[in-house]
Chains A and B, each alone.
Chain A
Amino acid sequence: MIINHPLLGPRDAQEFTYLGDASLIERPDWEAEDAQDQFHDYLYLRDNPAGSHRELWFHEIGDRSWLVVTRDTTTHEITSVEMARDVARAKGRSK
C-alpha cells in the first residue's frame, strides 16, 4: 500500500506502523463519574467497519508523524490522509 503523507507525499506503507481506529484520539475525561466505563469503551470496543475506516498510522521510518488515514477495509483504497495532530485539535484536544 501507499500512504500519501500530507507533508512528504506518497510513501510505502511499510515505512509506517499501524495502531488502530482513530477514535483512540478521543480519550475520555479521567475525572468523569463513569470514567472507568468510558475508558473501557474507548480502549476495548471498536466499530470495526467493513468499509471506510479512519485509522492511525505512525511514520516510524520517516518523520515520526502520526497520521489519520481514511481507508476502505474491503478494498484498501485510501481516500484521505491527515495529520493526526490536526484531527486531534479539531476534536477539541489541546493541552
Chain B
Amino acid sequence: MRYSGLRVIKEALTGHKGWTPAWRDPEPKKQYDIVIIGGGGHGLAAAFYLAKHYGCKNIAVLEKGWIGGGNVGRNTTIIRSNYLLDGNEPFYELSLKLWEGLEQELNYNAMVSQRGILNLIHSDPQRDAFVRRGNAMLLNGADAELLSVEQIRERYPFLNFNNARFPIKGGLAQHRGGTVRHDAVAWGYARAADSRGVDIIQNCEVTGFRIEDGVCKGVETSLGFIGAGKVGCAVAGSSGRLMAKANMRLPIESHVLQAFVSEGLKPVLPGVITFGAGHFYCSQSDKGGLVFGGDIDGYNSYAQRGNLPTVEDVCESGMALIPALGRARLLRMWGGIMDMSMDGSPIIDRTHIDGLYFNGGWCYGGFKATPASGLCFAHLLATDEPHKTASAYRFDRFRRGYMIDEKGMGAQPNLH
C-alpha cells in the first residue's frame, strides 16, 4: 500500500477501513540467506537496503521484543554530520544525505526536519578546534558555518548572553542538521523492508549461535533454530551480551545515557543547540516538547535508567544556557543502553567467525547513523567488502593503532 495525502483523504472518507498492517508478523522460516539480529533502526535499515539496493531475498530480522524498542525509540532525535576525522565524516555525511531522501525512499514521513544544529563556542581553544572541524566538514562536502555572537543572539535571543559563567563566544552551525521523528524511522524501515519480503520476527530472542568448524550456521532462538547463510548482529547496547554467546570479547562497554523531554510548549527553539561549557543538547519536537540530554551516567549498566546526579547536571547546564527554562517542566526521563566503544567510533566488520558479522559500538551517536549504518552493513553482508565510507570501522584498528578518536579521550569508553 502506498501512502499519500490522497490516500489519507480517501480513507478518511471511507472510514479508514483500507489501512493494512504496516508490517506482517510472519512465522519464521527454517532457513534464511541472511538473518539480522536486532529489530532496531540499524537492523531494519540494513534489511531494507539489502532487499532494495543489493537485491537480496530471503532475509529475516529477529527482534527479542518489539521493533524500535531499543535506542531508536529512546534518543534525542538529532541528525548531523559535524565530525572531524577522516574515518567518520564521509560516513556521517552519507548518512545525512540518506536522511534527506529518506521519506521518498521509504514512502514514510519520518519528519526529517533540517532545522539546523548549533554547537556553541565558549573559549578560544574551543574555537580553534571548531574551526578545524568546520573546515574538515566543508572539505568533505558537508555544510558548516561559523556564527558570531551577534548572529546567534539574533536567532536565540534568550540564551544567557549577559550573565554567563562561560560566555558564548560564537558557534559552529550545520544548517542541514536537525531532528527526525525517531520511532517513525524504525516503522518506516520496517514497513519498507516488509513490503520487499523481509520477515520481521518480533518476540524472538536469540539465545545462541550455531557455529560449526568456525562457520556460523544460524541462530538458536526462543522460537527454535533458524538457519542462516550469514548472520549480522545489530544490537547496540546489548552487543556485549550477544557476542559473548559467540565467545567474543569486544572493545565495548555498555553504559546508560539518560534523555529527557519537557511538557509541550509553543515554539521556543528553532533548531538543535548544544552547550559548549557543559553537557547539554536540546531541540524542540514538532509536538512542542523540549527534547534534551547530556552526558552518560558514566558506569557500566544494562539497566535502562539512570540516577539523579546526571539529571541535575544536565538541568544545571540547561539553566546556565537558557535561564528561561526554569519555569518549563521536565515531563519524562528515560535511559538507553549505549555501546560505548574504546575510541568513540563504531564497528561495522566481519568477525573471526565466518558468516558472522557485527555492527555496534555506536556510543551515543547511533541514531543519526541509522541510514548509513544500514546501508554499509548491507553492503558488507552482501559483498563481504566494507563500504568505502565505513572502511575505517574495523575491529583490528585498536590492535594496529588506527583509532578514530574524535574527542581524544583514549581507551576509556565513558569519556567518549
The yes or no verdict on A and B being binding partners is yes
A: residues with CB less than 8 A from B are 1, 13-14, 18-21, 37, 40-41, 43-50, 53, 55, 71, 73-76
New A-B pairs, 11, CB < 8 Å, besides A13-B307, A13-B309, A48-B253:
A1-B307, A14-B309, A18-B298, A18-B299, A46-B250, A47-B240, A48-B300, A50-B302, A71-B299, A74-B301, A76-B303
Bound together, the chains give a CA A89 to CA B162 distance in angstroms of 54
Q: How far is the CB of B306 from chain A (nearest CB, A)?
A: 10
Q: List 25 A-B contacts (CB under 8 A).
A: A1-B299, A1-B307, A13-B307, A13-B309, A20-B253, A20-B414, A43-B411, A44-B342, A45-B249, A45-B251, A46-B240, A46-B250, A48-B249, A48-B253, A49-B240, A49-B244, A50-B240, A50-B241, A50-B254, A55-B300, A73-B300, A73-B302, A73-B303, A74-B302, A76-B301
Are B253 and A46 in touch, CB under 8 angstroms?
A: yes
Using CB atoms, name the residue of chain B closest to A12: B309
Which B residues have a C-beta under 8 Å from some C-beta of A? 238, 240-241, 244, 249-254, 298-303, 307, 309, 342, 398-399, 411-414
A88 to B241, CA, bound (A): 27
List chain B residues, Cβ under 8 A from A46. 240, 249-253
* Cα distance A47–B299 in the bound complex, in angstroms: 14
Known contacts A48-B253, A48-B254; is-contact A40 B414 (Cβ 8 Å): no
The chain B residue with its CB closest to the CB of A46 is B253
- Bound state CA distance, A58 and B307, in angstroms? 18
Bound complex: CA A14 to CA B130 (Å): 31
Taking the closest CB of chain B, its distance from the CB of A91, in whole angstroms, is: 19
Q: With a CB–CB cut-off of 8 A, which chain B residues contact A45?
A: 249-251
Q: Complex Cα distance A14/B413, Å?
A: 19
Contact of A53 among B238, B250, B300, B413 (CB under 8 A): B300
A53 to B399 CA separation, bound complex (whole angstroms): 25
Residue of A nearest to B248 (CB): A45
B250 and A73 within 8 A (CB): no
**Once the chains are docked, how many angstroms separate the CA of A47 from the CA of B247?**
10
Q: Is the interface of A mostly helix, strand, loop or mixed?
A: mixed
Using Cβ atoms and an 8 Å threshold, which residues of chain B touch A53? 300
Please determine whether A55 and B303 come into contact, CB atoms closer than 8 angstroms: no
In the assembled complex, which residues on chain A have CB atoms less than 8 Å from the CB atom of B299?
Answer: 1, 13, 18, 55, 71
A40–B399 contact, CB under 8 A?
Answer: yes
Q: How far is the CB of B70 from chain A (nearest CB, A)?
A: 14
Residue numbers in B under 8 Å from A20 (CB-CB): 253, 300, 412-414
Taking a contact as CB atoms under 8 Å apart, the answer to whether B249 and A47 are in contact is: yes
Are A44 and B411 within 8 A (Cβ)?
yes
Report whether B303 and A75 are in contact in the complex, using a CB–CB cutoff of 8 Å: yes
> Which A residues are in CB contact (< 8 Å) with B238?
50
Q: How far is the CA of A71 from the CA of B302 in the complex (A)?
A: 12
Could you tell me the distance between the alpha carbons of A20 and B298 in the complex, rounded to whole angstroms? 9
Chain B residues with CB under 8 Å of A40's CB are 398-399
Given the complex, which residues of B lie within 8 Å of A73, measured CB to CB? 254, 300-303
Inter-chain CA distance A46–B412, complex, in Å, is: 11
